Structures are given as structure tokens and as C-alpha cells.
DNA sequence: TACTCGTGGGA
DNA sequence: TTCCCAAGAGT
């Protein structure tokens, strides 16, 4: 029999194929009245912004073990939360996560609001995340529009308008399909479909529950959709990172300003990152090159970091010495951890 | 509107 | 190697 492109046919598929995730309430448990914890849904959705499920899982478990409730998180110290987020990227999310937890704790009595409008008023919660929390945690009939939904809608309706221009059109199509009942399961079902079958490359149309009514497939253009505006090429920037240890073996680190790239994160003192960086050592001493440059790619530029090392007890112009035994490289953002790996190797040679 | 903001995995 | 991109938000 032919399956129509309806929420019902996708929900039937989801009942059989829902993926298991640490924050998810399985459809058969939802059917018995089990509701998700809004705190866990919020935390997972913020972590999942532009980030894969595989990358998020361990961080989610770590955060919920350290801070089981929103009140626990609200009471945490900023550096501990930033350190726990280290490696996950987009660090403004962690800063806004704390802001949001504190607003919920102090202004909402530790209880997340349920309406999409009140959720979107909170720090770090935008159009997608507000709809995701309202539907998944509170079962309200809100429509999520993320990259998965955009792709699925563009394909089943053969929308050839490129993104981001097509966004309002895709939102209208997504809203038209959103059911009154089981909105949370439905939202997750579309995203599961996009993540496992209606994938960006080589979609598995042959096993798609919506294949019979997919206009993109009928036109033979499903894998090409959604069309996108071409992106600009990434420039390459350079910089110098300084890794200083004193005679006790402590490491000189600084907390970066609470805005901009890697804002609020721990890092090595260094020059600016530009096409022509100006050296800016934290002290004047005999710096030695580590020998190997660190290469790293951010969202909008490539970076080549020249790593300099030295031992000295001179009080530095910036940063603080962190005792060897309490320094955890895992507290650093990835690019800074790469610098550490190179510098550590250099120190071990001497 | 357009730009900023991370990272790791896969093709 | 290089490019793409993944459950976006803030400015």
C-alpha cells in the first residue's frame, strides 16, 4: 500500500525506528504518559545546536551527572561550566546556558516556562530551540525548523528556492504538516528521518516512509535539495602562542574575555590572529620554537599557530600560573589543547 | 541581512 | 587534502 506524506505515517515509522538517546523518552513510554524533564530537553537541545548527536552524548551525561537540576547548574561557578563544555565548540552556548539557568532559577522558581514565546525570551534559546522544548518537553503543537526539517520539506515538496531564502516557505510547509497530537514525537520523527534516511548525501529513498509522496524523488532531484547559496572561501590567519612554565612546572594560562572567539575559555597567552600577527610574549625571555606549528580550522578561517616555549619565574604581564597537578588539558578548547600537545612534547625533550 | 562563532567525522 | 556539514543564536 502507498503511504501518504502525513504526520501519521511518519509517526508510525517513528514508533518502530526511534533512535535511543540519553535525553529522549521513547515513544512507547510517552504513550504511557511519561513526560521528559524540561531541563534535560533544554540542555540537550542547546548542545545539539550545530552539533552531532554522537559528539553531544558524553557531554550530556557529564553535565547531568555534575548538575542534575537547573538549580544545580545555576549555582555552579562559571569556570567549572566552561571547562566542562571545553571541546564541544560554540562557547557562547555555554555562557548563555549559565545565564539561562540563572534566570530560570531566580525568576521562574527553577521551573522552565512552557510557551514558545516565554522560552524564546531566555538567553541562548532562539526560534528552533524554543519550538523544540515546547513540543518535546510540553507536547505543545509547535513546529521545529532545523537543518533536517528544511531538507525533508525541500525534498518532499521539490522546493528549488535556495537557502536561506527558502526558509519562510519551508516553515509554512512544515507547519502545515505539524499535528495537534504527539507534536513532540512528530518533531523528533522528522529530525530522525533527516538524520538517518533523508540524509544530505545519498539519501536512502528506497526505505523512506514518505517515498511514495515525495515530489523531489518523483522529479529525480531529491539528493540535490535543498539548494544553497555558495559560501565564501576561508582565509588563513596566523598567530603565536606562548607556553610558559615556571621552575615548579606550573603553566601560565589566561581566561579569555567573555566575548568573541573562545570567549570565557582558558587559553595560552598569544598574539592576535591575523594575516600579519604582531608577537606579544607575556614576558621577555629566551623563547624557543616548539618546532611544529598547530593547524586548526574554525568556522570562517584557517589558523596556523606558531608555538613558543620557555621556562622562567618572572612575574608575567598577563595570565596566571596554574599548578601542574591541578591543570587539566581537557579544560581547554581544542585549538589550545593542540598547542599544549605540541608544547608538552617540546618540554619532554629538555 | 550578513557575519560571527567550534569541532570532528565522512566522502 | 579539502570540502561539507550537524537538532542555530546573537549581533
Residue A92 CA, nucleotide C10 C1', distance (Å): 9
pLDDT at A69: 98
| Statement: the CB of A51 is under 7 Å from strand C | yes
Task: State the pLDDT confidence band at A19, using cuts at 50, 70 and 90.
Answer: very high
Q: What positions of A carry a catalytic annotation? A: 45
pLDDT at A123: 98
**Which nucleotide's C1' is closest to A47 (Cα)?**
C7
Residue A300 CA, nucleotide B5 C1', distance (Å): 9
**What is the gyration radius of the CA atoms in chain A, in angstroms?**
24
Give the containing element (helix H, strand E) for A81: helix A78-85
Residue with minimal CA–C1' distance to B5 is A90
| Statement: the CB of A163 is under 7 Å from strand C | no
Q: Name the average pLDDT for chain A.
A: 96
Residue carrying the nine cell digits 513532540:
A184
Strand duo A302-311 + A236-245: pairing:
parallel
Task: State the pLDDT confidence band at A230, using cuts at 50, 70 and 90.
Answer: confident
CA distances from A288 to A280, A291, A298, A299 (A): 14, 8, 27, 30
* Average of per-residue pLDDT across A136-145: 98
* Average of per-residue pLDDT across A332-350: 94
pLDDT greater than 70 at residue A1: no
CATH superfamily entry for domain A7-224: Hypothetical protein; domain 2 (1.10.340.30)
pLDDT at A175: 97
Q: pLDDT tens-digit profile of A150-195? A: 999 999 999 999 999 999 999 999 999 999 999 999 999 999 999 9
Query: What is the spatial distance between Cα A154 and Cα A172, in angstroms, rounded to a whole number?
Result: 11
The CA-based dihedral angle spanning residues A90, A124, A79, A335, taken in that order and rounded to the nearest 10 degrees: 0
Q: Using an 8 Å Cβ cutoff, are A238 and A39 in contact?
A: no
Residue with minimal CA–C1' distance to C8 is A49
Residue A337 CA, nucleotide C3 C1', distance (Å): 24
**Domain locations in chain A?**
7-224, 236-349
Residue A93 CA, nucleotide C3 C1', distance (Å): 26
Nucleotides of C under 7 A from a protein CB: 3-10
Is the peptide bond prior to A164 cis by the omega test (within 30 degrees of 0)?
yes
Q: Which of A296, A288, A303, A291 is nearest to A342 (CA)?
A: A291
Q: Using an 8 Å Cβ cutoff, are A269 and A318 in contact?
A: yes
* Average of per-residue pLDDT across A201-214: 96
Task: State the pLDDT confidence band at A48, using cuts at 50, 70 and 90.
Answer: very high
Residue A1 CA, nucleotide B8 C1', distance (Å): 41
Cα dihedral sign, A109-A113-A118-A120 = positive
Task: State the pLDDT confidence band at A3, using cuts at 50, 70 and 90.
Answer: confident
Residue A313 CA, nucleotide C10 C1', distance (Å): 41
Positions 237-296 of A with beta carbon below 7 A from strand C are none
* Average of per-residue pLDDT across A217-245: 95
Task: State the pLDDT confidence band at A201, using cuts at 50, 70 and 90.
Answer: very high
pLDDT at A4: 84
Residue A78 CA, nucleotide C8 C1', distance (Å): 23
**Which nucleotide's C1' is closest to A165 (Cα)?**
B1
* Average of per-residue pLDDT across A210-228: 96
**Which nucleotide's C1' is closest to A93 (Cα)?**
C9
What percentage of chain A carries pLDDT values higher than 70? Answer: 99
* Average of per-residue pLDDT across A299-309: 97
Q: What are phi and psi of A255, to 5 degrees?
A: -90, 125
**Which nucleotide's C1' is closest to A49 (Cα)?**
C8
Q: Which residues contact A193 (CB under 8 A, 6 or more apart)?
A: A10, A13, A148, A152, A208, A209, A210
| Statement: the CB of A52 is under 7 Å from strand C | yes
**Which nucleotide's C1' is closest to A86 (Cα)?**
B6
pLDDT greater than 90 at residue A38: yes
pLDDT at A21: 97
Q: What are phi and psi of A268, to 5 degrees?
A: -85, 145
Q: pLDDT tens-digit profile of A244-302? A: 999 999 999 999 999 999 999 999 999 999 989 999 999 999 999 998 999 999 999 99
pLDDT greater than 70 at residue A137: yes
Q: Using an 8 Å Cβ cutoff, are A121 and A293 in contact?
A: no
Q: Which fold has domain A236-349?
A: Nucleoside Triphosphate Pyrophosphohydrolase (3.90.79)
Q: Which residues contact A109 (CB under 8 A, 6 or more apart)?
A: none
* Average of per-residue pLDDT across A107-125: 98
What percentage of chain A carries pLDDT values higher than 90? Answer: 95
pLDDT at A2: 75
Q: Which residues contact A194 (CB under 8 A, 6 or more apart)?
A: A147, A148, A149, A151, A152
| Statement: the CB of A92 is under 7 Å from strand C | yes
Residue with minimal CA–C1' distance to C3 is A233
Strand duo A288-289 + A251-255: pairing:
unpaired
pLDDT greater than 90 at residue A120: yes
Nucleotides of B under 7 A from a protein CB: 3-9, 11
pLDDT at A231: 87
Give the containing element (helix H, strand E) for A296: strand A294-297
What's the grid cell of residue A215? 515530489
Residue with minimal CA–C1' distance to B10 is A201
The CA-based dihedral angle spanning residues A193, A198, A200, A205, taken in that order and rounded to the nearest 10 degrees: 160
Give the residue with greater pLDDT, A51 vs A350. Answer: A51
* Average of per-residue pLDDT across A29-33: 97
Q: Which residues pair with A242 in a beta bridge?
A: A308
* Average of per-residue pLDDT across A43-60: 97
Q: Using an 8 Å Cβ cutoff, are A170 and A159 in contact?
A: yes
Task: State the pLDDT confidence band at A108, using cuts at 50, 70 and 90.
Answer: very high
Task: State the pLDDT confidence band at A349, using cuts at 50, 70 and 90.
Answer: confident
Amino acid at each position: 500500500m502507498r503511504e501518504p506524506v502525513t504526520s501519521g505515517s511518519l509517526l508510525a515509522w517513528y514508533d518502530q525506528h526511534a533512535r535511543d538517546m540519553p535525553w529522549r523518552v521513547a515513544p512507547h513510554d510517552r504513550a504511557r504518559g511519561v513526560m521528559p524533564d524540561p531541563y534535560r530537553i533544554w540542555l540537550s537541545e542547546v548542545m545539539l545546536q550545530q552539533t552531532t548527536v554522537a559528539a553531544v552524548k558524553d557531554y550530556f551525561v557529564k553535565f547531568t551527572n555534575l548538575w542534575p537540576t537547573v538549580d544545580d547548574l545555576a549555582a555552579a561557578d562559571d569556570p567549572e561550566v566552561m571547562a566542562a563544555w571545553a571541546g564541544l565548540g560554540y562557547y557562547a552556548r555555554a555562557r548563555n546556558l549559565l545565564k539561562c539557568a540563572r534566570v530560570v532559577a531566580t525568576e521562574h522558581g527553577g521551573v522552565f516556562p512552557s510557551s514558545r514565546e516565554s522560552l524564546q525570551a531566555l538567553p541562548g534559546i532562539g526560534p528552533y530551540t524554543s519550538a523544540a522544548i515546547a513540543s518535546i518537553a510540553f507536547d505543545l503543537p509547535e513546529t521545529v525548523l532545523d537543518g533536517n526539517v528544511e531538507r525533508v520539506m525541500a525534498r518532499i515538496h521539490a522546493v528549488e528556492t535556495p537557502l536561506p531564502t527558502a526558509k519562510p516557505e519551508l516553515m509554512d510547509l512544515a507547519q502545515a504538516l505539524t499535528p495537534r497530537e504527539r507534536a513532540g514525537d512528530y518533531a523528533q520523527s522528522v529530525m530522525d528521518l533527516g538524520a538517518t534516511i533523508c540524509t544530505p548525501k545519498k539519501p536512502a529513498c528506497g526505505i523512506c516512509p514518505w517515498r511514495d509522496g515525495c515530489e523531489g524523488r518523483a522529479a529525480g532531484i531529491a539528493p540535490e535539495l535543498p539548494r544553497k547559496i555558495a559560501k565564501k572561501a576561508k582565509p588563513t590567519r596566523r598567530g603565536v602562542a606562548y607556553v610558559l612554565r615556571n621552575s615548579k612546572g606550573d603553566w601560565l594560562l589566561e581566561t579569555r574575555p567573555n566575548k568573541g572567539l573562545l570567549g570565557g575559555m582558558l587559553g595560552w597567552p598569544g598574539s592576535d590572529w591575523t594575516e600579519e600577527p604582531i608577537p606579544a610574549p607575556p614576558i621577555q625571555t629566551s623563547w624557543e620554537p616548539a618546532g611544529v606549528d598547530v593547524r586548526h580550522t574554525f568556522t570562517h578561517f584557517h589558523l596556523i599557530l606558531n608555538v613558543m616555549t620557555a621556562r622562567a619565574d618572572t612575574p608575567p604581564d598577563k595570565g596566571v600560573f596554574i599548578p601542574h597537578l591541578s591543570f587539566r588539558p581537557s579544560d581547554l578548547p581544542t585549538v589550545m589543547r593542540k598547542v599544549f600537545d605540541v608544547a608538552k612534547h617540546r618540554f619532554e625533550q629538555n
